Amino acid sequence: MLWQGRRESDNVEDARGSGGRRLAVGGGIGTVILVVAYLLLGGDPQALFQSQQQAQLPQSAQFDSQTPRDEASKFVAVVLADTEDAWHELFRQMGREYEEPRLVLFTDLTQSGCGFASGASGPFYCPEDRRVYIDLGFFRQLQERLGAGGDFAEAYVIAHEVGHHVQNLLGITDRVQATRGRVSQSEYNQLSVRLELQADFLAGVWARYADRVKHVVEAGDIEEAMRAASAVGDDRLQYRSRGYVVPDSFTHGTSEQRGRWFRRGYETGDLRQGDTFNAHDL
């Protein structure tokens, strides 16, 4: 991905080194993958955080809103800027105004509007404060543990989280969350899958914009994003962590589904093609 020297978003809050401590998660990488399977790439963090609400950070996190200076955080800021450009244009075409999200970089532990979270939880979007949260150490996990490294794979992760912000602005997130407690857990899981696959589709729409309008996509980039989408499928993560899969517990979709919906967004760029909630065959 051609990103050096390009516009960086002003919406990055750098909270790394702000006093957070590591949240203990027992069980090694197997447990981490189980957590990732639940929360990775923008799941509903509030349920996972609920048990941590009484915890206290050693000191209050102080955000530094200055433009990030190291290479990794500069990259994040450039990708976020690209998503801003893409969604401003797409919302304009819908006769709406796009409200830009904030993106918080943290280390180990942070407090969001949805509660406390650790880096082991993976990147997530909190609809309560309209922020994307990323511990950059996750990208090492993506490459070393899941075999899906590369700059465009990382860009896909960011674009997926921003996709959840788009869903929030359009009222889709509220409609799904309103069903909690009114439908069975299995049915709610299916709604969560549809929400995640739609965010994958929206990430694909962004990738098309980056390719066709910004001309920053290099050979192999789309394949990197596809590998990342497939690597975090529920079936693959569950099999890796426990040796078998439980389809009724899926909340993010299978590897095949995630890759397919990302590709559909990239190939069509048509938001009307991303209605996963009315799709008869996911």
In-domain check, residue 279:
no
pLDDT, one tens digit per residue, over 197-226 is 999 999 999 999 999 999 999 999 999 998
In-domain check, residue 229:
yes
Q: What is the pLDDT of residue 43?
A: 52
Instruction: Give the chain's domain count.
Output: 1
Task: With CA atoms as reference, report the closest residue to 164 among 139, 201, 199.
Answer: 199
What is the DSSP-derived secondary structure letter of residue 64? B
Beta strands in the chain (DSSP E): 12-14, 102-105, 109-112, 115-118, 124-126, 131-134
In-domain check, residue 4:
no
In-domain check, residue 275:
no
In-domain check, residue 61:
yes
In-domain check, residue 143:
yes
The DSSP bridge pattern shows strands 131-134 and 12-14 to be: unpaired
Domain containing 85: what range? Answer: 12-269
Q: What is the pLDDT of residue 259?
A: 93
| pLDDT band, residue 37 (cuts 50/70/90) | very low
Q: Are 123 and 105 in contact (CB under 8 A)?
A: no
In-domain check, residue 5:
no
CA distance 83 to 161: 10
Q: What is the pLDDT of residue 41?
A: 53
Structure tokens at 150: 């590369």
Lowest mean pLDDT among 4-8, 62-66, 82-86, 163-167: 62-66
In-domain check, residue 277:
no
List the 12-14 sheet strands across, edge first. 12-14, 102-105, 131-134, 124-126
Percent of the chain with pLDDT over 90: 51
